């Protein structure tokens, strides 16, 4: 496994103040070639190539300042959540208008106070923040585990996988006997519960059993319905995956 290369960014071009204040902050994962989960999330695969980051402001969130480095392309949600081909799979477009605006990918003022590169998951908010330089953060909407299946604390990204294999843990098979067919692992694919990417979290060198991963069920974002997973829209996990590397710190609170 290799570490992901650091993402390169370029300054945002200046625009008239009215345009900067009126547009919505979004990030684009389109155009690339292409949780935390309670145990049983295993996978195989190689690292992905980097995606481009785009910004526009939200009405309720301060616009990105021209002095903050951002990627060169500025796109709209229809591009950000467009269908794409990745790893031989055709990822369907997301009907983003059915996703609440606060759960769409965007750049915001960092509310966490954590060091750049830290992944912060705020369970009550249903948001994941990837802290950036200069007081900004990339924010993604997430789905979380239902009551009794959540975990909180500090960990690190130990490694990641593209189109990972999912292996249900024995206790899950006991609850859902129909999953026994995947006892040896469900291959990666569009119907795989781990989606297009998975990040594996370790604490003090030991596997926590929790994952940050994608999901084909875009409608579950903002909900507490998983078996402990922190799940993102597939287009969002592809984007997040391209921006992190081995040992990125993670805070779940």
Q: Which residues are catalytic?
A: 213, 229
Query: Can you tell me the distance from the alpha carbon of 24 to that of 13, in angstroms, rounded to the nearest whole number?
Result: 16
Q: Tell me the C-alpha distance between 244 and 159, whole Å.
A: 10
> Rounded to whole angstroms, how far apart are CA atoms 220 and 33?
25
On the CB side of 154, CA atoms within 13 Å amount to: 6
C-alpha neighbours within 13 Å on the C-beta side of residue 72: 2
Whole-number Å distance between alpha carbons of 167 and 242: 24
Beta-carbon neighbour count of residue 245 at 10 Å? 16
E strands in 68-205: 69-70, 84-86, 89-91, 106-109, 119-122, 127-131, 136-141, 144-145, 153-162, 197-203
């Amino acid at each position: 496994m290799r570490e992901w290369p650091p993402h390169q960014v370029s300054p945002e071009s200046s625009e008239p103040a009215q345009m900067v204040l009126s547009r919505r902050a979004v990030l684009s994962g389109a155009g690339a070639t292409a949780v935390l989960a309670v145990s049983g999330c295993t996978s195989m695969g190689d690292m992905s190539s980097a995606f481009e980051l785009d910004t526009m402001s939200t009405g309720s969130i301060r616009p990105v300042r021209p002095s903050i480095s951002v990627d060169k392309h500025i796109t709209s949600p229809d591009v950000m959540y467009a269908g794409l081909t990745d790893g031989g799979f055709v990822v369907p477009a997301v009907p983003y208008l059915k996703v609440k605006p606060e759960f769409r990918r965007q750049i915001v003022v960092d509310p966490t106070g954590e060091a750049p590169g830290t992944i912060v998951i705020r369970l009550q908010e249903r948001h994941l923040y990837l802290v950036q330089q200069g007081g900004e953060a990339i924010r993604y909407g997430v789905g979380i585990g239902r009551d009794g299946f959540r975990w909180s604390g500090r960990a690190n990204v130990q490694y990641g996988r593209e189109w990972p294999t999912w292996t249900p843990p024995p206790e899950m098979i006991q609850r859902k006997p129909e999953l026994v067919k995947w006892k040896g692992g469900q291959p990666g694919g569009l119907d795989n519960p781990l989606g297009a990417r998975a990040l594996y979290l370790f604490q003090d060198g030991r596997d926590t059993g929790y994952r940050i991963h994608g999901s084909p069920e875009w409608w579950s974002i903002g909900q507490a319905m998983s078996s402990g997973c922190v799940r993102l829209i597939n287009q969002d996990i592809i984007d997040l995956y391209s921006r992190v590397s081995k040992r990125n710190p993670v805070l779940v609170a």
